[in-house]
Amino acid sequence: MAGLGELQSRVMAALWDADGPRTVREVLCALSGERPLAYTTVMTVLDNLHGKGWVHRERVGRAWAYIPARAREEAGAEMLREVLDSLGDPEGVLVHFARGMDERESEFLRRALSGDGE
Protein backbone atom coordinates (compact mmCIF):
# COMPACT_ATOMS: atom_id res chain seq x y z
CA MET A 1 0.00 0.00 0.00
CA ALA A 2 1.53 3.31 -1.09
CA GLY A 3 2.26 5.76 1.68
CA LEU A 4 2.72 3.03 4.26
CA GLY A 5 5.54 0.70 5.07
CA GLU A 6 5.18 -3.07 4.76
CA LEU A 7 4.37 -3.62 8.45
CA GLN A 8 2.03 -0.62 8.59
CA SER A 9 0.16 -2.04 5.59
CA ARG A 10 -0.19 -5.43 7.31
CA VAL A 11 -1.46 -3.78 10.50
CA MET A 12 -4.00 -1.73 8.52
CA ALA A 13 -5.16 -4.89 6.73
CA ALA A 14 -5.68 -6.58 10.12
CA LEU A 15 -7.79 -3.62 11.25
CA TRP A 16 -9.80 -3.47 8.02
CA ASP A 17 -10.48 -7.22 8.26
CA ALA A 18 -11.79 -6.88 11.84
CA ASP A 19 -15.44 -6.56 12.81
CA GLY A 20 -14.67 -3.66 15.13
CA PRO A 21 -11.93 -2.01 17.17
CA ARG A 22 -8.89 -4.14 18.00
CA THR A 23 -6.37 -3.82 20.80
CA VAL A 24 -2.64 -4.14 20.26
CA ARG A 25 -2.82 -7.73 21.51
CA GLU A 26 -5.64 -8.56 19.06
CA VAL A 27 -3.72 -7.05 16.13
CA LEU A 28 -0.63 -8.98 17.22
CA CYS A 29 -2.66 -12.22 17.26
CA ALA A 30 -4.11 -11.45 13.82
CA LEU A 31 -0.56 -11.08 12.49
CA SER A 32 0.82 -14.11 14.34
CA GLY A 33 0.62 -16.46 11.33
CA GLU A 34 3.16 -14.34 9.50
CA ARG A 35 6.54 -13.51 11.01
CA PRO A 36 7.03 -13.24 14.79
CA LEU A 37 6.52 -9.71 16.11
CA ALA A 38 7.00 -8.13 19.51
CA TYR A 39 4.02 -6.57 21.28
CA THR A 40 5.94 -3.28 21.53
CA THR A 41 6.58 -3.28 17.78
CA VAL A 42 2.86 -3.54 17.00
CA MET A 43 2.11 -0.94 19.69
CA THR A 44 4.61 1.48 18.10
CA VAL A 45 3.22 0.89 14.60
CA LEU A 46 -0.33 1.56 15.82
CA ASP A 47 0.79 4.68 17.66
CA ASN A 48 2.51 5.93 14.49
CA LEU A 49 -0.59 5.16 12.40
CA HIS A 50 -2.65 7.12 14.91
CA GLY A 51 -0.26 10.05 14.63
CA LYS A 52 -0.55 9.95 10.82
CA GLY A 53 -4.36 9.93 10.99
CA TRP A 54 -4.76 6.39 9.64
CA VAL A 55 -6.49 5.08 12.77
CA HIS A 56 -8.65 6.34 15.62
CA ARG A 57 -8.30 4.94 19.10
CA GLU A 58 -10.33 4.74 22.28
CA ARG A 59 -9.62 3.46 25.76
CA VAL A 60 -10.89 0.01 26.62
CA GLY A 61 -9.91 -0.53 30.25
CA ARG A 62 -6.17 0.07 30.39
CA ALA A 63 -5.59 -0.62 26.69
CA TRP A 64 -6.20 1.31 23.51
CA ALA A 65 -8.52 -0.13 20.88
CA TYR A 66 -7.84 0.93 17.30
CA ILE A 67 -10.14 1.30 14.32
CA PRO A 68 -9.34 2.51 10.78
CA ALA A 69 -10.03 6.20 10.20
CA ARG A 70 -11.37 5.42 6.72
CA ALA A 71 -12.53 2.42 4.74
CA ARG A 72 -9.95 0.42 2.79
CA GLU A 73 -11.49 1.55 -0.51
CA GLU A 74 -11.43 5.22 0.51
CA ALA A 75 -7.78 4.97 1.59
CA GLY A 76 -6.91 3.27 -1.71
CA ALA A 77 -8.64 6.01 -3.68
CA GLU A 78 -6.78 8.71 -1.74
CA MET A 79 -3.45 7.00 -2.40
CA LEU A 80 -4.28 6.62 -6.09
CA ARG A 81 -5.11 10.33 -6.25
CA GLU A 82 -1.74 11.18 -4.68
CA VAL A 83 0.08 8.98 -7.20
CA LEU A 84 -1.82 10.49 -10.14
CA ASP A 85 -1.11 14.01 -8.92
CA SER A 86 2.61 13.26 -8.63
CA LEU A 87 3.11 11.87 -12.15
CA GLY A 88 2.51 14.95 -14.29
CA ASP A 89 0.22 13.20 -16.80
CA PRO A 90 -2.69 11.69 -14.85
CA GLU A 91 -4.83 11.35 -17.98
CA GLY A 92 -2.17 9.31 -19.76
CA VAL A 93 -1.74 7.07 -16.74
CA LEU A 94 -5.50 6.53 -16.50
CA VAL A 95 -5.72 5.64 -20.20
CA HIS A 96 -2.97 3.03 -19.82
CA PHE A 97 -4.62 1.70 -16.68
CA ALA A 98 -8.04 1.47 -18.35
CA ARG A 99 -6.57 -0.39 -21.33
CA GLY A 100 -5.16 -2.99 -18.94
CA MET A 101 -8.51 -3.68 -17.26
CA ASP A 102 -10.35 -6.92 -17.90
CA GLU A 103 -13.92 -6.95 -19.23
CA ARG A 104 -15.53 -7.31 -15.79
CA GLU A 105 -13.60 -4.30 -14.44
CA SER A 106 -14.38 -2.26 -17.57
CA GLU A 107 -18.09 -3.01 -17.32
CA PHE A 108 -18.12 -2.16 -13.61
CA LEU A 109 -16.38 1.16 -14.30
CA ARG A 110 -18.88 1.99 -17.08
CA ARG A 111 -21.80 1.32 -14.72
CA ALA A 112 -20.22 3.25 -11.85
CA LEU A 113 -19.51 6.30 -14.03
CA SER A 114 -23.03 6.30 -15.42
CA GLY A 115 -24.48 6.14 -11.90
CA ASP A 116 -25.77 2.57 -12.23
CA GLY A 117 -22.94 0.89 -10.29
CA GLU A 118 -24.15 1.62 -6.79
> Are 62 and 93 part of one and the same domain?
no
Is residue 21's pLDDT more than 70? yes
pLDDT tens readout for residues 27-61: 999 998 767 899 999 999 999 999 999 999 999 99
| Structural domain of 99 | 72-114
3-state secondary structure of 58: strand
> Are 40 and 89 part of one and the same domain?
no
Q: Is residue 86 part of a domain?
A: yes
* Sequence-distant (≥ 6) Cβ neighbours of residue 66 within 8 angstroms: 15, 21, 22, 23, 24, 27, 46, 49, 50, 55, 56, 57
pLDDT tens readout for residues 65-81: 999 999 999 998 988 88
> Are 10 and 63 part of one and the same domain?
yes
Number of domains forming the structure of the chain? 2
Q: Is residue 97 part of a domain?
A: yes
Q: Is residue 14 part of a domain?
A: yes
What pLDDT is attached to residue 13?
Answer: 96
What pLDDT is attached to residue 117?
Answer: 55
Q: Is residue 1 part of a domain?
A: no
Question: What is the chain's alpha carbon radius of gyration, rounded to the nearest angstrom?
Answer: 18
> Are 54 and 101 part of one and the same domain?
no
> Are 23 and 76 part of one and the same domain?
no
Average pLDDT of the chain to the nearest whole number: 91
pTM over the 0.95 mark: no
